[in-house]
Amino acid sequence: MRSHIRRVTAALLLIVLFGCRQQEDPATSPLPLQSCQTAEQYQQATAPAGFAGENAAIVPMGRRVSPVGLLVQVPYFPIAAAFSPDGSRAYVVHSGSFTLEVVDTVAGKVLQSIPDAGGFRGLAVGKDGAVFTAQATGGTVTRLDPSTDGSLAVTVKVELPGTPTSIALSPSGDSLFVVSSSNSLGWELDSDTFAIVGGFMTRGVYPYGLAVAPDGDRLLVTHTGDDTVTLIDRESGEVLDELPAGLNPMGIAVDGPHNRCYVVNSDGDSLSVYSLDPFEALPTVDLSGTPDQLPGGSPNELALSPAGDLLYISFSDLNMVQIFETEGFSRVGAIPTGHYPTGLAVSGDGLKLAICNSKGWGGAAKLKKEPSILSLVDIPVPEPQLSEWTATADANVGRTREFWSSTCPDPLPLPLDPSEEQVVQHVVKIVRENKTYDAVFGDFERGNGDPALLVFGEQYTPNLHEIARRYVNLDNYYADAQESFQGHTWTTQADCNDFFEKLYPSDLAQIVLGGYDPSAVLAERSVFDNFFEHGVTFRNYGEFESFTKDMFDLYADFIDFKYPYFNMAIPDVWKAEEFIRELNLGIFPEFVYIALPNDHTAGAKVGFPTPASMVADNDEATGMIVDALSHSEHWEETVVFIIEDDPQGYGGDHVHSHRSICVGAGPWLRSELTSSVHYSIPALYRTINMLLRVPPMHKNEAFAPPMYDIFRSGKEGDGPDVTPFEHLPRLVPEEYNQKGARMSAESELLDLSEPDAAPGMGYILWRVMRGDDEPPPYAKWNDR
C-alpha cells in the first residue's frame, strides 16, 4: 500500500511538473518569444547600456559607439575644435563648460585647460597661432596667444551686447567677425585690439554658422530660426542676398577651389550647396540615406579637405562622420565615433581630422557630466581601413534592428501585426518626472533593482508597484535625455534635435525658448504632428513642449485648456480627476498624453509638500487614471504606458545613469512580466506607432526595436485580460516642508518654475529621504 502511494505520488508529481511545462502560461512566460531568435540576438537585445568592450559602449538608445583614432579625454560636451597652424595642437571648446583645452595631437593628451576662455562653438585660429573664442553666455570674445613655452594665455577680451554664437577670421587674419544669436547682430573686430571696426545685422532669426567668402569681402551666415543663409557685404554691413536653406541650417564651410559654400541642415538631413559667384543655390544633396528621406541623422557640422575634394560631415544621431566627394557628393565612407559627434576640424596639411564626441561614451561613466572624447583620426583614410570602419559605423547604428529576427516565421503579436485588425484603439501615455529605475523599483521583487539606491519604494508608490506587478515592467529601459530639461523634448518627439542638444548644456548660454521653440522641434514635427497627419485623434493634457507652435490654431481643439502645465501647486490627483471627468464624458481619442509632474517634488523647499507627499500624490493620480480606464468601456482596446521624462538624480542607478522607468498596463499586455530588452523612448514610440498604424517620422523611431515581447499574441488562450485595476490609496499623509528641516536651506535655491530646472535636486532628495546614508560608490547619477 505504501509503495503504491509512493508510486502514485511520484506519478502525480511528474504530471504536475510535466504538465506545468506543457501548460505554461504564454502571458507570463519569459523570453524569447521568437522561435528562431538566436542566443546571441537575445544577449544583444538584453545587454544593458554602458561600456561594451574596449573603446566601445552601448548608448541609451541601444546603438553602439566605437570611436577610432587617437582618443583624448576632454571635459563634457566639446562642440568645436581647431588645429594650430602646424597641426601639433588642437583646441577644443564646449557647450557645458567654459574652458578651452589645448591638446597635444601627437601624444594625445591635454596640455592645458584654460578656464573662462570658451563657451559654445565660437572658435578660430589665426595664421600666427592666436586662438579666438566666443563665450555666448557672457557675450565675451577672447584672444589667446601662445607664449614662448607654447602655452596659451589670454591677451585680449571684449564684451559684446549679445550672445556670440560663431566667429570667423578674415583671410588676412586682420579682422575677426562675430555674430550674435539673440539679436541677429554682427561685428567686425580688429583681431589684435578687438576694437569694433564694423557692424551689421544678419536679417535672419537665430544666426548660427558664420563663414567668410574667399574674397574676404563677404560674409555668410546661417539662421536656424528661419532656415536661411544670408550674404552680407563686409564693408557696408548690408545684406546682399538671402537664400533658403534646409531645416535648421547649422554648420557652414567655404570651398575656395570650387568657389562654393556648403551648409549642412541638421533637421533636414541635407546639404545645401551654393555658388558664391553669383550667389545662388545649387541642387541640394540628400543626406538621409533612406529612400523616404527620413530625418534624424542630425548632420550638423562639416569640414573640408584643403584641396576641397572631400567633405567630412558629422552625423550626431548616427554616431559617425561620413565622407563625401565634393564632385557628385557620393558617399566615400564613414568613420565610427563616440556618442554624438559634433565639431569637426581638418588640420592645415589635411592629414588629421579632429572630431568632438560631445557625449563621450553615452553616459556609461559614473557621472552625467562625464569626460567626453576628442578623436584625432589620420586622414585621408586608406583602404581597406575605410571599408572596415564604414561597415562598423553602419552596424553600430543598425544594432537595435537586429534584436528581433526579421526572417522568423512566427506571427507578430496581434496588436502589432499590421496585417491584422487593429485591436488596440487607444494608447495612453503618462509622463511623470525624473526617476531612475532603482530609485523607485529598487525594492521590486522582479527585475534588476538595487535596494541600496531605493528612494521612493512601494510605501510611496504602491500603485506603480502594483501596476508593474500585475502587468509589464521594463528593467532595461532608458530615458534618452542627456540633460534633464530635454526630457520633454524626447517624450514629445522621440528625439532631441541638434539645435537643442547643443543649446542646453551651455548653461543658459543662449536666448531661446527651450523646447518650445519651433527650431527645437526636429524637422518641425512632433509626435502630435505625426498623429495628426495620419488621422490619429489625440488629446493633450498638460504638455507644452514641442507643441506650442500650433496650440492656438491647428491643435486648439485637441488640448484640454483646463489642465495645467507643470504646476506643482495643483495636486496631481486633481489633474487625474480632470482627465477622468472627460473620460466619463466619452472624450477619449486614440492617443492621450497626460503629464503628471508632481513627483518632480520641490525638494525640502519650505511651504511645499514634502517629497514623500508629492510622490504619493503623483502615484495615487497614476493609479486613479489606470483604475478609471480599466473600468471604462474602452479598456479592452487600450494600452497604457507610464514613464518618467528623464532620470535626473534621485539616487542614481546601479546599471546606468539613464536607466529609468517604463511600466505598461492593459488587457493586451502580458501579465506579471519583466522585460529586459533594451528599450528607450524611440522604441516606445515605435511601438505606439505600430499599435495605431502610423509610420515612423524619423530614423530613431524607424530603427528602434518594437516591444514585441510585452504583448499577448492573440492566439487562443492568449487573448486580452480585461480584469479591471483598483487603485490603491496613498499610504503617506499630506505633509509640508518645515523651516529648518533637512536640506531646506539648499532647496531654497531650487528653480521650480519649469520642469527640470532644478540642479542638485537629486542629491537633495537623497538626503531628505535617506538621511545620512551615503549613496553607494557605484551609483551612476544623471544629476547636475
Partner 1 sequence: MKLSFPVLLSGAAVLLLVSGCSTSPRRPPVDVPETSHGGEIADGTVLDQADGKAGADVRTDVEDVAVDLSPEAVSSEVQALVDQGKYWLSNAEPVLAAKEFEAALALDPTNSDAVFGAAVSRYVAATELLAMVLTLPSQFSGYGAGSGTRSDPESQNDYLAEEVHNIFLFLRSGFLEAESGFSSIQDIGFRFDIEGVPIYVGTRPVVVLRGKFDLADVRLLAGSNAFFLWFTELLAAQDFRSDLLAAAYAGMKAQDEGLDLFTILDVVGHLMASDERFFTLRKDDGHELFAAGMQHMVDAGANLVSGLSLLEELGAEEEADEAISLGWDGGDRLMVVRNRVDGATLDEAPLEIAFSQELIDASQELLDRMQVAGETVPFSQGPAVQLGTLLGFAARLDVLKFMPVEIPIDVSGLQPGQVALLLALMFPDSLGFDYGALAAQPVGLRVLFPLLMKVADPVTAADFWMEWECPAETAANGVPAAAKGFVCSKNAELVDASHFPSTPFEMEPDGYLSPLPYLVWEDPTWGGFLLVDHHFPPMGEGDPEFVIPDLALTNTGLHVWLKQLAGLLQ
Task: Name the residues that contact partner 1, by CB under 8 A.
Answer: 136-139, 161-163, 180-185, 201-206, 225-226, 508-514, 516, 532, 534-539, 544, 548, 552-553, 556-558, 561-567, 570, 574-575, 577-578, 581-582, 585-587, 589, 751-754, 757
Greatest CA span in the chain, whole angstroms? Answer: 112
Of 223 and 658, nearer to partner 1 (C-beta) is 223
Of 322 and 493, nearer to partner 1 (C-beta) is 493
- The closest alpha carbon to 131, from 81, 188, 76, 195, belongs to 81
Grouping H, G, I as helix, E, B as strand and the rest as coil, residue 183 is coil
Strands 472-474 and 673-675: parallel
CB of 520 to partner 1, least distance (A): 12
Of 339 and 488, nearer to partner 1 (C-beta) is 488
Whole-number Å distance between alpha carbons of 766 and 214: 57
CB of 658 to partner 1, least distance (A): 23
CB of 566 to partner 1, least distance (A): 7
CB of 590 to partner 1, least distance (A): 9
Whole-number Å distance between alpha carbons of 760 and 603: 10
Sign of CA dihedral 22, 26, 29, 34: positive
Of 319 and 497, nearer to partner 1 (C-beta) is 497
Of 388 and 754, nearer to partner 1 (C-beta) is 754
CA distances from 297 to 17, 434, 526, 768 (A): 52, 27, 16, 42
CB of 580 to partner 1, least distance (A): 9
Helical (H) or strand (E) element with 673? strand 673-675
Task: Classify residue 5 as exposed, middle or buried by CB count within 10 Å of its CB (0-12, 13-18, 19+).
Answer: exposed
Of 635 and 781, nearer to partner 1 (C-beta) is 635
Beta-carbon neighbour count of residue 399 at 10 Å? 22
Of 223 and 699, nearer to partner 1 (C-beta) is 223
Whole-number Å distance between alpha carbons of 506 and 143: 20
Of 61 and 690, nearer to partner 1 (C-beta) is 690
Of 532 and 641, nearer to partner 1 (C-beta) is 532
Q: For residue 396, give the C-alpha cell.
A: 553600430
CB of 267 to partner 1, least distance (A): 17
Q: For residues 168, 173, 174 and 180, what is the CA-based torsion angle, rounded to 10 degrees?
A: 10
Q: Are 101 and 115 in contact (CB under 8 A)?
A: no
Whole-number Å distance between alpha carbons of 221 and 212: 9
CB of 683 to partner 1, least distance (A): 24
CB of 561 to partner 1, least distance (A): 5
Interior/surface letters 73-112, b for 16+ CB within 10 angstroms, e for the rest: ebbbbbbbbbbbeebebbbbbbbbbbbbbbbbbeebebeb
CB of 95 to partner 1, least distance (A): 13
CB of 586 to partner 1, least distance (A): 4
State the alpha helices, DSSP H only, in 369-410: 385-397
Q: Are 47 and 63 in contact (CB under 8 A)?
A: no
CB of 638 to partner 1, least distance (A): 15
Q: What is the CA radius of gyration of the chain?
A: 27
Q: Which residue's C-alpha cell is 554682427?
A: 186
Of 384 and 733, nearer to partner 1 (C-beta) is 733
- The closest alpha carbon to 562, from 545, 586, 541, 593, belongs to 541
Of 203 and 258, nearer to partner 1 (C-beta) is 203
Amino acid 727 reads H
Of 143 and 488, nearer to partner 1 (C-beta) is 488
CB of 487 to partner 1, least distance (A): 14
Grouping H, G, I as helix, E, B as strand and the rest as coil, residue 371 is coil
